[in-house]
Chain A
């Protein structure tokens, strides 16, 4: 193969992904979860709200692969539908946090001085609160519900992105192309969007991938505490909450949702860690020479 073609960005990324087993496993699981979420109605044997009280707390069997809960609902189906909510929360929360972080980080890093001080001090203030407690307070104030949970989680998640982006921008500003773009009369926002953003996006992608797992976990935590999305919607966190009273009688009520949360978060963490290795520019240089 042509040497330059082999060394070009896209191919290299794919090649490295193939070599990185845990990242590949993470990617496969994430894709599987996406498929499950998309085709939930086709995959689930029962409607997630369908109650058969006479079959409550059935152990796993042929009809109910993961058993039933205290209302006689199919846990397997609820977990399948729960994938939707979990991924939705994870992705949307991360998208909002990352976007906010990128905007504020770019502005702060680019304009240094007063704007930077202001943004970074606000970040410091937010970082001074323990994340889960702050999310609890916000979710508690706003009341439960999908939108409120996402808002609360985004509000405690954007600071990390801001810091990372700002730091990267400060580093990029020292490089020649920044001054060159300015010297050629490019506008501030043009430089931020076209020249700085592509240069700082790699660490943000890594952070966001890890962040999805974290958001899912925190959302589950909020749901477990009763502040998340309300029943009867199938949510992994509140399924755990329901199950805690039946730990002895029906362990399947906690085991399977817990397992679902673990697998999902683990998959995103594997993928994120793998991305960090893959997108690391230093590694790229090593591979080429």
Chain B
């Protein structure tokens, strides 16, 4: 049984303009100890899905469906129990290192308080433990840096602090929300290293939310591709990230610089007014009438690899990426 399993999850924000459907009928399993990547373009609902798991959404959001963690349903869980779950069982590694640390507290004390809170340690030994964690994460001069404030640290150092905080509760599942967002190449490599180290040493499973396919490729066992709040393809990382089935996933891959830097034409649909049928139809090269009428069902392609598309066979048969087109020749 999977550590975390989501079934038919819908996240809707009730706004003045109408219902914003951020996640639509999402079903996804995260097996214990595995890293699952959630990829997709900006605004596809990846982060909302991550926050939905911890029920950290604003008041105007409503969640329906089922999220089971070790058999317990998170959506019906009382507040006290949920608070116990957060940090201890499921931890969040937040999006931006620059704002996710409290600017007026010493960085070391922010790790220490996590240890005191979750492991019921006394302040002194917890501080020592925090230093040990920082040393493990290769933070230079941990004794000095722990006494400094977030604005005195670089982005990579802050990311390490956040990484240490996120594992203070020894979680079994880590939700990493765009950990490499807005970082340069060197830092991105560092962050990937930190994440690999974290999951490697704690044995925790991870839900890695990213739009960076390279980060996903280097860390994930499985990948789910999200488009307009819907998971359109799900399967083993090495398969999807090299040879995806769904036209959208193919388009994502074709937009990488090494594959010709060719963007998918058009924009994603408004989450206020989603089309009936396949959400990707308006940008899809394979779209036919049926795509606008009926939502494609899951098409199983091979063991544990499936996609939501009516024309899986056509897209596979061509044995090449739909979106690469003639640019393929010039691509390196």
Contact = CB atoms under 8 A, between A and B. Distances in A.
B73 to A, nearest CB: 18
B257 to A, nearest CB: 30
B94 A180 contact: yes
A198 B103 CA distance: 9
B100 A184 contact: no
Contact of A186 (B85, B104, B117, B152): B117
Interface string A162-189: 0000000000000111011111111100
Contacts of A179: 51, 56, 92, 94, 100
Contacts of A244: none
A221 B26 CA distance: 67
Nearest to B109: A194
Interface in B66-95: 83-88, 91-92, 94-95
A183 B86 contact: yes
Given A7-B152, A185-B85, A185-B118, A177 B99 contact: yes
A182 B102 CA distance: 12
Contacts, number: 77
Given A112-B59, A184-B92, A184-B166, A176 B84 contact: no
A183 B92 contact: yes
Interface in B160-213: 162, 165-166, 168-169
A183 B152 contact: no
A195 B102 CA distance: 7
B54 interface: yes
B152 A176 contact: no
A9 B105 CA distance: 11
B104 A183 contact: no
Contacts of B56: 179, 182-183
Contacts of B92: 179-180, 183-184
A4 B88 CA distance: 35
Given A4-B152, A183-B94, A184-B169, A177 B102 contact: yes
A185 B87 CA distance: 5
Interface residues of A, number: 23
Given A4-B148, A177-B101, A199-B102, A184 B95 contact: no
B117 A180 contact: no
Contacts of A182: 56, 86
Nearest to A186: B117
Contacts of B95: 176
A195 B105 CA distance: 8
Give the residue among A183, A187, A199 with the most B Cβ atoms within 10 A. Answer: A183
B96 interface: yes
A184 to B, nearest CB: 4
A180 B177 CA distance: 11
B40 interface: no
Q: Specify the main secondary structure of chain A where it touches its partner.
A: helix
Contact of B117 (A8, A9, A175, A184): A184
B59 A113 contact: yes
B300 to A, nearest CB: 35
A195 B148 CA distance: 16
A177 B117 contact: no
A180 B148 contact: no
Contacts of B168: 184
A46 B62 CA distance: 74
B113 interface: yes
Contacts of B54: 183
B149 interface: yes
B87 A183 contact: yes
B229 interface: no
B264 to A, nearest CB: 30
Given A179-B94, A180-B94, A199 B103 contact: yes
Contacts of B59: 112-113
B114 interface: yes
A175 B86 CA distance: 19
A198 B102 contact: yes
B38 to A, nearest CB: 17
Contacts of B117: 184-186, 190
Contact of A176 (B83, B99, B104, B148): B99
A289 B235 CA distance: 49
A175 B166 CA distance: 17
A106 B209 CA distance: 33
A66 B169 CA distance: 68
Given A176-B100, A177-B101, A194-B113, A187 B91 contact: no
10 tightest Cβ-Cβ pairs between the two chains A and B:
A185-B87, A183-B92, A176-B100, A176-B99, A185-B86, A184-B87, A198-B104, A177-B102, A180-B100, A180-B94
Given A184-B169, A185-B169, 18 more contacts: A4-B148, A176-B95, A176-B96, A177-B100, A177-B101, A179-B94, A180-B94, A180-B100, A183-B54, A184-B91, A184-B114, A185-B84, A185-B85, A185-B118, A194-B105, A198-B102, A198-B105, A199-B104
6 contacts: A8-B148, A176-B99, A179-B51, A179-B100, A183-B92, A184-B92
